[in-house]
């Protein structure tokens, strides 16, 4: 889909849909924003970039190896880049990003936000599950992954492969942009009201977890699964420290055992696991999660006072994640997969331990498409799933 030249105003249709409302734009409004030039690109945009409440962002043709991360705050990104750039990599035919190195890559999409519209970005699930630390910066930005209201200009993606060297090329999608106005955050009172009507957590038997049995405190808490019904069940994956390059243009291509060490029930005692510092783990929630089409959720990083570890890189749940259709209040939900990296000291976790928090937000209108099989979503009915680059 081609976009028009950038404009500073919204179309009448979009103004009408946004007027007096707080929340995130859904796919139909994001497409309209692209037609109006609020989001624009010199390269034709594709229909597959439009997700239920986000737009996939594409890498540009050049990557810059930099000596340190930075926030521009009082300057442009290009000006700061001159101070920290080490060398350039041409991504038009593909280039390798080394493990542990920091790169900055301009994004093909550019913005011309009206003053009442803001943006947030986050890594795509497949990016986080490769242990790739990515975040967006913009000119004069003082925080990562946030686009201020009225912003006009380019976006840049900082990329740090942590466990595996990767091959990327121009047009590859590692991150997503969400657009909102007002305050979309749901308070605990609002969340409880939604939960009563449309339960969010479900157990293995298919029944919803009662509101009186869930933990809600500035969001909804979920716990860790280190149990199972079979003795050989895999409860976690640990990234191997030495591996070959992963080409991120190849799906279902690599054998998991070449890159991951499976951890099974027979390898742990009393359903407890000690996580090693600076190692990367893929783990799974005990509860199944259903994000109904009128909501979206974000997994909030584990607080330092709860343990020295980070519980996610991506952590964004589209409307429709784990929702299997209709208004049925049973047999809904899909497990959440968490990317975990302990810091500084070994950290013990156990089955059923409260592990992370989901922050819920509202959409301005229901999306015309939701996460699931119809749009070929990769993780709609997942168990403990690795990234899409690995064979199942």
Question: Regarding beta strands 246-247 and 166-168, do their DSSP bridges make them parallel or antiparallel, or are they unpaired?
Answer: parallel
Query: Which numeric CATH code is attached to 12-181?
Result: 2.70.40.10
Q: What is the mean pLDDT of residues 326-347?
A: 87
What the block records as the tokens of 58 is 């594409």
CA–CA separation, 168 and 174 (whole Å)? 10
Q: How confident is the model at residue 9 (pLDDT cuts 50, 70, 90)?
A: very low
Q: How confident is the model at residue 8 (pLDDT cuts 50, 70, 90)?
A: very low
- Measured over the CA atoms of residue 318, residue 323, residue 329 and residue 331, the dihedral's sign is negative
Question: H or E stretch including 324?
Answer: none
Question: What CATH superfamily classification does 188-375 receive?
Answer: Deoxyuridine triphosphatase (dUTPase) (2.70.40.10)
Do 184 and 361 meet the contact criterion of CB atoms below 8 Å apart?
Answer: yes
Q: What is the DSSP string of 245-293?
A: -EETT-SS-B-GGGTEEEEEGGGSBTTEEEEPTT--EEEEEEEEE---T
The residue assigned the tokens 């992954």 is: 145
Segment 199-210, tens digit of pLDDT? 999 998 889 999
Do 119 and 53 meet the contact criterion of CB atoms below 8 Å apart?
Answer: no
Residue 310 in this model has a pLDDT that exceeds 60: no
Segment 22-41, tens digit of pLDDT? 899 999 999 999 998 999 99
The residue ranges of every structural domain in the chain are 12-181, 188-375
Residue 241 in this model has a pLDDT that exceeds 90: no
Q: How confident is the model at residue 12 (pLDDT cuts 50, 70, 90)?
A: low
CA–CA separation, 359 and 309 (whole Å)? 18
CA–CA separation, 263 and 340 (whole Å)? 14
Segment 378-389, tens digit of pLDDT? 666 677 889 999
Q: What's the pTM?
A: 0.91
Segment 285-297, tens digit of pLDDT? 999 999 999 999 9
Question: Regarding beta strands 23-24 and 354-362, do their DSSP bridges make them parallel or antiparallel, or are they unpaired?
Answer: unpaired
Question: H or E stretch including 105?
Answer: strand 102-112
- Most confident among 86-95, 115-124, 324-333 (mean pLDDT): 86-95
CA–CA separation, 186 and 217 (whole Å)? 12
Output the pLDDT for position 191.
Answer: 97
Same fold, 12-181 and 188-375: yes
């Amino acid at each position: 889909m081609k976009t028009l030249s950038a404009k500073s105003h919204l179309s009448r249709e979009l103004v009408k849909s946004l007027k007096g409302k707080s929340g995130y734009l859904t796919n139909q409004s994001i497409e309209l924003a692209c037609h109006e030039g609020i989001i624009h690109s010199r390269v034709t945009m594709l229909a597959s970039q439009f997700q239920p409440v986000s737009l996939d962002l594409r890498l540009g043709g050049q990557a810059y190896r930099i000596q340190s991360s930075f926030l521009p705050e009082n300057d442009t990104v290009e000006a700061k880049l001159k101070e920290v750039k080490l060398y350039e990599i041409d991504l038009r035919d593909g280039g390798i990003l080394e493990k542990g190195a920091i790169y900055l890559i301009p994004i093909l999409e550019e913005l011309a936000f009206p003053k009442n519209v803001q943006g947030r970005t986050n890594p795509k699930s497949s990016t986080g599950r490769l242990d790739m630390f990515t975040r967006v910066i913009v000119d004069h930005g003082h925080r990562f992954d946030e686009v201020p209201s009225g912003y006009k200009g380019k976006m840049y993606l900082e990329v740090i492969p942590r466990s595996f060297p990767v091959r990327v090329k121009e047009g590859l999608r590692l991150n997503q942009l969400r657009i909102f106005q007002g305050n979309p955050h749901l308070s605990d009172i609002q969340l409880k009201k939604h939960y009563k009507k449309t339960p969010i957590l479900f157990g293995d038997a298919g029944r919803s977890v009662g509101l009186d049995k869930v933990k809600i405190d500035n969001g909804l808490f979920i716990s860790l699964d280190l149990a199972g019904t079979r003795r050989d069940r895999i409860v976690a994956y640990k990234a191997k420290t030495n591996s070959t390059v992963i080409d991120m243009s190849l799906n279902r291509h690599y054998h998991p055992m070449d890159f991951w060490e499976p951890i099974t029930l027979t390898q742990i005692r009393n359903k407890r696991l000690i996580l090693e510092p600076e190692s990367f783990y893929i783990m799974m929630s005990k509860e199944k999660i259903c994000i109904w089409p009128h909501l979206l959720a974000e997994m909030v990083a584990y607080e330092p006072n709860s343990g020295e570890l980070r519980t996610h890189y991506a952590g964004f749940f589209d409307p429709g994640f784990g929702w299997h259709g209709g208004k049925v209040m049973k047999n809904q939900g899909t497990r959440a997969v968490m990317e975990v990296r302990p810091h500084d000291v070994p950290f013990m976790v156990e089955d059923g331990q409260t592990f992370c928090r989901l922050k819920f937000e509202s959409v301005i209108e229901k999306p015309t498409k939701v996460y699931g099989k119809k749009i070929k979503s990769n993780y709609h009915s997942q168990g403990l799933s690795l990234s899409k680059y690995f064979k199942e």
